[in-house]
Amino acid sequence: MIDHVRTGHWPFPGGALWVDATPAMLLIDIDGEGDAMTLAKAGARAAVHVVRCCDVGGSIGVDFPSLPGRAERQAIDALVDALLPQPFERTAVNGFGFLQIIRRRERPSLIEQVRFDPVATDAALLLRQAERATGTGTLRLTARPAVAEHIAARPAWTHMLQTRTGRPVEITADAAIKGTGHAQ
């Protein structure tokens, strides 16, 4: 899921969502081929899934494929209403295929957390990877300096990791490491 958040690309049968977080709103573009109504329905399901699993709040814009008539647009409105739990407000899908949803925003969404704080994201992913590492002896976490510093600044995290794995933990910064780093 983190890869989908980072790339903004969320494939679904028959198409894909392109998701982009901006300071003003989360934008979701539905792309695919074939019948516009079929794509719009599948895209609505996928968009609601992203909103729910990433706990997106605030303003959300969804760009559907252009639908031929008002009845089709109202069917998409009804589908969104059925799939997305209240409370939220929304506009109707307009003639250009755009729908806006407003949800209560209690905290940054997973999408915002991952995209706007990549160091904290990589630190969390490295710790999860370390929990699953096999072997004995010292558990070595090797990461780019910013990630290593982020983990080292939170000694409770390494203490919890030591408790869960039964292994002493050593953190090493390596400027040549890209991405999350590795645990062994």
**Segment (H or E) for 113:** helix 110-116
Q: How far, CA to CA in Å, does 150 sit from each of 32, 75, 117?
A: 40, 48, 11
Range of the domain at 147: 117-183
Q: Are residues 36 and 74 in the same domain?
A: yes
75 within 8 A of 62, measured Cβ to Cβ: no
Q: Are residues 78 and 149 in the same domain?
A: no
Q: Are residues 134 and 105 in the same domain?
A: no
Give the start-end residues of each E strand in 33-168.
58-63, 88-90, 98-103, 139-143
Query: What CATH number corresponds to the domain at position 21?
Result: 3.40.630
pLDDT at 179: 82
Q: pLDDT (tens digit, 9 = 90+) per residue, 15-50?
A: 999 999 988 899 999 999 999 999 999 999 999 999
20 within 8 A of 26, measured Cβ to Cβ: yes
Structural domains counted in the chain: 2
Which positions ≥6 away from 3 have C-beta within 8 Å?
none
**Segment (H or E) for 118:** helix 118-131
pLDDT at 2: 84
Estimate to the nearest angstrom the gap between the alpha carbon of 137 and the chain centroid: 35
Which of 111, 136, 169 finishes a domain? 111
**Per-residue pLDDT tens digits of the chain, which is 184 residues long:** 888 988 899 999 999 999 999 888 999 999 999 999 999 999 999 999 999 999 999 999 999 999 989 999 999 999 999 999 999 999 999 999 999 999 999 888 988 888 888 899 899 999 999 999 988 899 999 999 999 999 999 999 999 999 999 999 999 999 999 888 999 9
Which of 93, 111, 129 finishes a domain? 111
Q: Map residue 31 onto helix, strand or coil.
A: strand
Residue 132, Cβ density class (10 Å: 0-12 exposed, 13-18 middle, ≥19 buried): exposed
Global pTM?
0.78
**Segment (H or E) for 39:** helix 36-53
Give the single-character DSSP code of 144: -
